Amino acid sequence: MEIDKEKVDDAILALLFLSLDRDGRSWKSFDWDAMNRLHEKGYIGNPVSKMKSVILTDEGAERSEQLFRALFCKPE
């Protein structure tokens, strides 16, 4: 089975929206390779730290919400 890493990255970015707080932080307990790819794409701050959360960039927060709505919300 070949994994589509783009789809994995989109799903993780969407799930980061679930725990996003007012300061733009979200829990980072996802696959490290995927988190590094999201960092390289400019969606999150550097995930390599002792902190249990990661900061989403403005672009990352916006894309995160869009993906969350597209993947997990029922149509209105």
The tens digit of pLDDT for each residue in 42-75 reads 999 999 988 899 999 999 999 999 999 999 998 8
| For range 9-23, the mean pLDDT | 92
Burial class of residue 63 (count of CB atoms within 10 Å of its CB; 0-12, 13-18, 19+): buried
The tens digit of pLDDT for each residue in 17-39 reads 988 999 999 988 898 899 999 99
Q: What is the pLDDT of residue 65?
A: 94
Return d(Cα 29, Cα 11) in angstroms, integer: 13
Q: What is the pLDDT of residue 75?
A: 80
